[in-house]
Amino acid sequence: MAIDYHHLKGRPFAPVRQHYAERDTMLYALSLGLGCDPLDGASLPYTYEGLDGGLRALPTLAVVLGYPGFWAREPDTGIDWVRLLHGEQRVRWHQPLPASGDVVGKSRITRLIDKGADKGAILVTERRLESAAGALLATLEQVTFLRGDGGYSQRTGQASDAPLPALAATPHERAPDGIDQQAIRPEAALLYRLMGDYNPLHADPAVARQAGFERPILHGLASYGLVAWALVRQCAGGDASRLKALDIRFAAPVYPGETLVTEIWRVPGQDGRYQLRARVAERDKIVLSHGHAELA
């Protein structure tokens, strides 16, 4: 079954209502490695409720809240879901997330772009994360690469949308202004899957080998959270509430147990704007690229 432009663009998504508790907020931070050093004062506000001011939520917790599930697998979509990849993640935060509460995720497909036969298609899904009272907390855009669905517009005469504005590559002409290094816990994927993504690719070695990987890989959104925390540590004094936007491209898989090195550049003449990318030290491989971030 081939994808149908009008069917996908008009596909309804029921609002996803979700309650999360302080335990979930702490577990999310722990899954990203916060708390590995018990004397790290920057991590403690996100992993312990006993400080003045109480527990704080990492802003990237938004990526696991109000999620509509792996809907691309449903037969009516026509998507070759086995071959899809999470290509980019773009998030804007409108106000800090509370440490616990009730939220509503409202999703819709905003763009479907045909790159051509044998080149795949691009699907852009927007999710508005709101409080139970209707206040907008975050706007998330997930860019999905449909490797098996290119050429649909040429074959059927259907429409193809304009692409999203491209993310610029990080500077190569000068050294980064800051470098952060994080050891990824060996059990990181097993912890992060408790956030709701139970894809066996991240847990079962046999499934990972069938998919072409030597062992289970880390979730892309876990590496997204790691890079966000690296930026907050290096450029915001550990105050995650200053993070207002983060867009990044997933370039290659990350394995638990590796060392993530995040390279950060200040954007000249634009206070609070940064470009970033990340590589794994053991393989000297760029795994996240084209990163753009905004701090208050």
Write out the catalytic residue numbers: 197, 202, 217, 220
Q: Which residues are CB-neighbours of 157 under 8 A, at least 6 positions away?
A: none
The answer to whether 253 touches 132, Cβ cutoff 8 Å, is no
> Coil, strand or helix: which one is 129?
strand
Q: Which residues pair with 10 in a beta bridge?
A: none
Side chain identity at residue 160, one-letter code:
S
Pull the structure tokens for residue 249: 């491209």
Q: Which residues are CB-neighbours of 165 under 8 A, at least 6 positions away?
A: none
Closest CA to 28 of 46, 43, 48: 46
Q: Which residues are CB-neighbours of 124 under 8 A, at least 6 positions away?
A: 109, 110, 111, 112, 113, 141, 142, 143, 144, 164
What is the C-alpha separation between 260 and 244, in angstroms, rounded?
Answer: 22
> Coil, strand or helix: which one is 250?
strand
- Sign of torsion, CA 115 119 120 124? negative
Helix (H) or strand (E) holding 242: none
User: Mind giving me the DSSP string for 135-198?
Assistant: -EEEEEEEEEEETT-TTHHHHH----PPPPPPPPPPPSSS--SEEEEEEPPTTHHHHHGGGS--
What is the C-alpha separation between 277 and 96, in angstroms, rounded?
Answer: 24
Task: End-to-end CA distance of the chain: give it in Å, rounded.
Answer: 46
The answer to whether 99 touches 55, Cβ cutoff 8 Å, is yes
Pull the structure tokens for residue 284: 């000297």
